[in-house]
Structure 1
Amino acid sequence: MHDLESFLSHLHFKDLIRSGAYKPLQMANTITALRNGNFDFEQADIILLGCGERRGGTFASSYSDAPNAIRSAFYELYNWYPNIEIADLGNLVEGASIADTKAALRIVLDTLYTAGKIVILLGGSQDLTLQQYEIFKQHQETVDAAVIDSLIDLEDEEACSDTSFLMEMLTSHPNYIRNYSHIGFQSYYTNPKMLETLDKLRFDFFRLGTVRADMDEMEPVLRSCSLLSIDINAIRRSDAPFNPKASPNGFFGDEMCQLMRYAGMSKNMRSLGIYGYNPEQDSEQQGAKLIAQMLWYFVDGYRLRSLEADLSQTDQFLMYNIHFTDNNTVFLKSKLTGRWWMQMPDQSYIPCSYNDYQHAVNNEIPERWMREQERLL
C-alpha cells in the first residue's frame, strides 16, 4: 500500500473543530478522522476524500475550500446509522500542476479501491471524474457509469477540462465503460450531435423533464452503476442561489437527495464524486448544507443495501414468467425491498422497474430490455 500521508494535508478538518462544538450523535463525533499516520480504514464502509483541484474548470482560483465547507455542514447532521462506519481521509494537497494533483488522486483512489472501500470524492471541478474512471480502467474492470448534470460535457477540446472530460472517458481505447447513463440533461443547452454520439455508442440519456416525471425510473439505472459523478449545475437556480451558473430549470434539492439515496442503495456503487460547488459564492452556506443533506441520503440508502437479498436466494423473491413479442423471460420482485429485476436472453438479470414488468405483461418490449439487448449484441 502507498504511503498516503505524503499526498494528504497534515491539517485535517477535525483539527479545526473546537472542543464541545458538536453534540454526541452528530456526524462530527461519529466519523473517524484518518490523520497523523492513522490511516487504518479497514473497518470503514464509506470514506470521504476532499480534492479541491479545479484548474480544469473556469474558476478564479486553482484550489477550492469546497471539501471543508461541505464537511462543516455534513458534520452538523445527526447520524441515524451508527452501524455504518464513515471515515474521513481529509484533503489531497494541491500539486504543482493539475497533472500532479490528478496523479496523486489516482494513487489514493486506487489504494481505497483495492481495499474494497466506497469513496465519496468532494471536488473540485468535474474533470476529476476521469480519475474516478481511471481506477476501474487500471484494474481492467468493466464499469457502468452515470453522470447527473444539466450539460453533456462532450466538447472536443485539446486539453481535458470540465466541459470535455466525457470525450476521453467514453471514447478512449482500451475502454472499460460497459454502459453510460446521463441523467437530467437540458435539451436547449445540448448540441443534438452529442446525443447522436451517445446513441451510436448504445449509451442512455434522460432529459430533465423525463426524469422528474417519474423519479423511480432512475433507481434501476443507479442500481447498476459503480461510478457516479454529480455536477451541482443539475440543481435549479431557486434551490442553488449560490451557483451563478445554475439554470432556472433543474432538479429540486429534495430530488437530488432522492437520487443520492438510490445511489447509496446500489450494491455496485464504489465511487461517487460531487463537483462544481463554489463556496466563495455561498454566503449563507446553503449549497454546503444541500450537498451535506445529499450525503446524508446516500448513507440512508447505503443501509438498505444490506437488507437486499442476493438473487441466488430465490426464496426471497417473487418470480413472474412472462411471454412478450416472442420472448420468454422472468421478472423477479424482492420481498424485502420491492425492487425488480428482469432476465435477459443470456440468462443474466438486470435491474428494472415495475413499469418494465407492466410493458412486458401488455406484450410490449420494455425499452430497458431492448437497450440492454443491443449492448449484449
Structure 2
Amino acid sequence: MIDFPHLQDYLAPVSKARLNEDETYDDLQIGNLIDVYGDDHIPDLDTADIILLGAGEQRGNGTPNNANAAPDNIRREFYQLYHWHKDVRLADAGNILAGRTLTDTYAAFKTVLTELIDAGKTVIILGGSHDLTYAQYQAYASKKYIIEATVADAQIDLHENSPLRSKRFLLEMFMEQPNYIRHYNHIGFQSYFVQPRMLETLDKLRFDCYRLGKVRENLEEIEPVLRNTDLFSVDINMIKHTDAPANSVSPNGFSGEEACALSRYAGMSAQLSTYGIYGYLPEKDRDNLTAKQIAQMLWYFMDGRSVKNKEAQLTERESFLEFHIAFTDIDTIFLKSKKTGRWWMQLPDKNFVPCAYTDYLMASNNEIPERWLRNQERL
C-alpha cells in the first residue's frame, strides 16, 4: 500500500480544469480517464500501472526554479490525447514541491520515488533540469538496489569543472560510494560535443555508449538495451531542433518518430521502473511543439507497456522458439518470443539476456556477437 498522505507533504496537486481551460474532456481522452491528484481528490495509486510525477526544478541548470511550468505544459498536451490501451491504468501524483535549496528538492524527489518504486510502480517523471537524474538514481541507492541505468542525451554530462550541476551529475552517480550502478548505457551522443578521453574512460568501465549515427542506422538494436534497463533518463536535446524547438543545443538528433520508438521500447521493458524526461524549457518552445512531442512519447510508452503486458515469462518455454547454436566452440541457446518477436541469448552462466535478431544471425555465422562479448566481459 502506498502511503499517499505521507507523500502529500512533498506534492502539489494538479488542476485539470486549468489545464483544459474549464472545458470537459472527451470520454476517451486521457484527461478524462487518468486518476489525478487534484485539490479535492486523492488518486488511487495502488491500482495504477503508470504514475506521472512532475518535477519542474531548474536550479541545477543555473536558472531560478520555474514553479513546475514544464510538467504542466506537457500534461496539457498529454491529457488531450486519446487512450487506446485499456490494459494500462494511469494516475498522476502531482508535482514535487520545490525545496528551499536544490538539495531539499532532491530529497523530496527521492522520498516520493522510493515509495512508488517499492510499491512496484512504473513512474514517468516530467522533469526540469537533467541533474534530477541524480535524485532519480538516489531513490534506488537509498534502498541498495543494484540497477542498470540508461541515458539518452546528445552530450555526456561528465564536466567536473562546470558550475552547473546539470553538466556534471554523472560524475556524482559514477563516483559515489557505495555504488549501485551495475551497468550504464549512453544513447545518441553526438561526437563533436564529447571529449574523446571521456569515451575512453567510459569504455574502460565497460559502459556502453552508442553514437547517434550508429543508433539511427538500426534503431531496433537499442530495444534490448532498454529491455534490460531499470532507470531511463532522457534529455530532450537528443531530439533535433526542428522536431523539438525547445532544444537549442543542436540542429541534429533523433527525429520525433525515432524518439517515440525509443519511448515505446522503454515501455516494453518489464524491468524499467523510472523514466525521466528532462531539459524541457517552455519559454524556448514554439507553438508547444516540444510539449506535444513529449506527450506523444508518453503515449508510445503506454503502447509499449501494453505489449509488455502480453509477453510471456522466460520460464514459459512453450511461448518461445528455441534455437541451439554453436559459435567458436561455444554452445548456447537463443529464444524468440512467439508473442512479440523479441530475442534473448544464454550466457555461460546459464542466464538469458535480451538481444536482437542480428545477434542470432552473427552466432549462426560462427561469429561472436558483440553484445554477447560485452555481457561476458562484465560477468
TM-score by length of 2: 0.95
Q: Which residue of 1 aligns with 2:282?
A: 279
Counterpart-to-counterpart distance in 2, 1:322 and 1:354: 13
Q: Which residue of 2 aligns with 1:14?
A: 16
Q: Which residue of 1 aligns with 2:317?
A: 314
Counterpart-to-counterpart distance in 2, 1:335 and 1:218: 20
Q: Which residue of 1 aligns with 2:53?
A: 49
Deviations 1:113-149 (A, max 9, x none): 1111110011100101011111111221111110000
Counterpart-to-counterpart distance in 1, 2:139 and 2:126: 17
Deviations 1:299-326 (A, max 9, x none): 0000000111100001111111111112
1:289 aligned partner, one-letter code? K
The answer as to whether partners of 2:61 and 2:164 remain within 8 angstroms in 1 is: no
**Aligned residue among 222, 234, 240 for 1:236:** 240
Shift of 1:194: 1.0
Q: Percent identity?
A: 51
SS at match of 2:165: coil
Pairing 1:344–2:347 present: yes
Q: Which range moved further: 206-215 or 101-110?
A: 101-110
**Aligned residue among 291, 294, 302 for 2:297:** 294
Q: Which residue of 2 aligns with 1:76?
A: 80
1:297 aligned partner, one-letter code? Y
SS at match of 2:93: strand
Deviations 1:265-311 (A, max 9, x none): 00001000000001112240001000000000000000000111100
The answer as to whether partners of 2:57 and 2:65 remain within 8 angstroms in 1 is: no
The answer as to whether partners of 1:28 and 1:76 remain within 8 angstroms in 2 is: yes
Q: Which residue of 2 aligns with 1:105?
A: 109
2:369 aligned partner, one-letter code? P
Counterpart-to-counterpart distance in 2, 1:137 and 1:269: 15
Shift of 1:56: 0.4
Shift of 1:44: 0.5
The answer as to whether partners of 1:242 and 1:287 remain within 8 angstroms in 2 is: yes
Shift of 1:238: 1.8
**Aligned residue among 3, 6, 9 for 1:3:** 6
Counterpart-to-counterpart distance in 1, 2:200 and 2:159: 14
Counterpart-to-counterpart distance in 2, 1:206 and 1:214: 11
Q: Which residue of 1 aligns with 2:331?
A: 328
2:16 aligned partner, one-letter code? K
Q: Which range moved further: 338-347 or 53-62?
A: 53-62
* Structure 2 residues not aligned, in runs of 5+: none
Deviations 1:317-373 (A, max 9, x none): 111111111211110011111110000000000000010011111111100000001
Q: Which residue of 1 aligns with 2:148?
A: 144
The answer as to whether partners of 1:30 and 1:82 remain within 8 angstroms in 2 is: no
TM-score by length of 1: 0.96
Runs of 4+ in 1 over 3 A off after TM superposition: 17-21, 58-64, 157-160
SS at match of 1:328: strand
Are the structure 2 counterparts of residues 312 and 182 from structure 1 closer, same or farther at C-alpha, using a change threshold of 3 Å? same
1:113 aligned partner, one-letter code? I
Counterpart-to-counterpart distance in 2, 1:375 and 1:351: 15
**Aligned residue among 111, 120, 127 for 1:123:** 127
Pairs within 5 Å for 1:69-218: 69-157=73-161, 161-218=165-222
Are the structure 2 counterparts of residues 37 and 248 from structure 1 closer, same or farther at C-alpha, using a change threshold of 3 Å? closer
Paired positions, count: 374
Shift of 1:37: 6.3
Shift of 1:175: 1.0
The answer as to whether partners of 2:127 and 2:276 remain within 8 angstroms in 1 is: yes
Counterpart-to-counterpart distance in 2, 1:331 and 1:344: 10
* Structure 1 residues not aligned, in runs of 5+: none
SS at match of 2:331: strand
Q: Which residue of 2 aligns with 1:357?
A: 360
The answer as to whether partners of 1:222 and 1:263 remain within 8 angstroms in 2 is: yes
1:46 aligned partner, one-letter code? I
2:180 aligned partner, one-letter code? Y
Alpha-carbon RMSD across the aligned residues, in angstroms, is 1.5
